[in-house]
Amino acid sequence: MTIENISVNKSFEGWHKQYRHHSNVLNCEMRFAIYLPPQASNGKKVPVLYWLSGLTCSDENFMQKAGALRMAAELGIAIVAPDTSPRGADVADDEGYDLGQGAGFYVNATQAPWNRHYHMYDYVVDELPKLIESMFPVSDKRSIAGHSMGGHGALVIALRNSDAYQSVSAFSPISNPINSPWGKKAFTAYLGRDMSTWSEYDASALMRKATNLVPALVDQGDGDNFLAEQLKPEMLEAAAGVSGYPLALNIREGYDHSYYFISSFIENHLRFHAEHLSK
């Protein structure tokens, strides 16, 4: 696969790089960012943390705002941040911020016109890791994390692919999208009105019946404006109680939905992943 480097920045003795490539899965041009820690410059293959961002975001939000690169350099972890959806003039879109470009929800769309491009699940699970592992000095040890819509995506992907990830974490995830306005809108458009198909992309439904257990860490601010209506962490906690899932859920007093929250606790998440990636 041909990839085009579009930016390079040195950071904490490692390198942050952006690339553009054609995605066969998404049928369009895609962009991703990768941070390679200094250990990767010495011929050593390093493990990878995949970061999935939230609504309206791109590959840039986390890399620029989370303050994660210093700790990634210390721990020797590469970070890969894909875009949040397919994009382009011929890619279906919607006037709302919560559907269409910037709002891929990390599902494989089955409904027209979305099914031509919106296969973010397959892109994150299969196509992107194969590209990363073939083009960069990284190992096949992976963990996954995300925020909001991306937290939903990270949890779902880890729960459905437990053999591929050492650990999973999320900030403010949409924990029960089949019962949230964001989820209902997106799933109706992308997956259709047959709600029986929605549960395969619902972290609470998946965690409730999970048998292969990927250690999970979730942080949620109690000052988050979306907490009660959209995020529903109590549903995830209840599901973990049913299956005995190894979920650590922290409710953080006063914190909101922003990157001020993420940057406050990203070190905890990176150390959590480093511990499991080293096993």
Q: Please give the share of the chain, as a percent, with pLDDT higher than 90.
A: 97
Q: Averaged over 203-226, what is the pLDDT?
A: 97
Contact 119, 108 (CB under 8 A): yes
Domain of 19 in residue numbering reads as 3-278
Share of the chain above pLDDT 70, in %: 100
Does residue 43 carry a pLDDT above 80? no
* Candidates 16, 147, 257, 273; catalytic one: 257
What is the token pair recorded at 230?
């959209």
Position 256 scores a pLDDT of 98
Per the annotation, the verdict on 224 as an active-site residue is yes
Please count the CA atoms within 13 angstroms of the CA of 160 that sit on its side-chain side: 20
What pLDDT is attached to residue 67?
98
CB 78 within 8 A of CB 35: yes
pLDDT at 62 over 90: yes
Which residue in 83, 202, 219, 224 is the catalytic one?
A: 224
* C-alpha closest to that of 144 among 115, 176, 121: 121
> Per-residue pLDDT for 68 more than 90?
yes
Mean pLDDT of all residues belonging to the chain: 97
pLDDT at 101 over 80: yes
Out of 53, 85, 148, 175, which one is annotated catalytic? 148
The Cβ of residue 112 has, within 10 Å, a number of other Cβ atoms equal to 8
Residue 46: both structure tokens together: 């390093």
Q: Is 162 a catalytic residue?
A: no
The mean pLDDT value for 67-89 works out to: 98
Could you read off the pLDDT of 104-145 as tens digits, one per residue? 999 999 999 999 999 999 999 999 999 999 999 999 999 999
How many domains does the structure of the chain reveal? 1
Tokens of 267: 């070190």
Residue of 227, 171, 223, 212 whose CA lies nearest to 52 = 171
CATH number at residue 183: 3.40.50.1820
- Residue 173: the pLDDT is 98
Name the DSSP letter for residue 44.
-
What is the arithmetic mean of pLDDT over 72-95?
98
Supply angle C-alpha 112, 158, 77, rounded to 5.
115
Q: What single letter denotes the amino acid at residue 87?
A: R
**SS3 of 138, please?**
strand
Determine contact, residues 220/231, Cβ cutoff 8 Å.
yes
Q: Is residue 260 within a helix (H) or strand (E), and if so which, with residue range?
A: helix 259-277
98 catalytically annotated: no
- Band (pLDDT 50/70/90 cuts) for residue 1 is confident
Distances (CA, A) of 203 to 1, 12, 14, 90, 176: 32, 35, 34, 31, 6
Q: Given a cut of 90, is residue 42 above it in pLDDT?
A: no
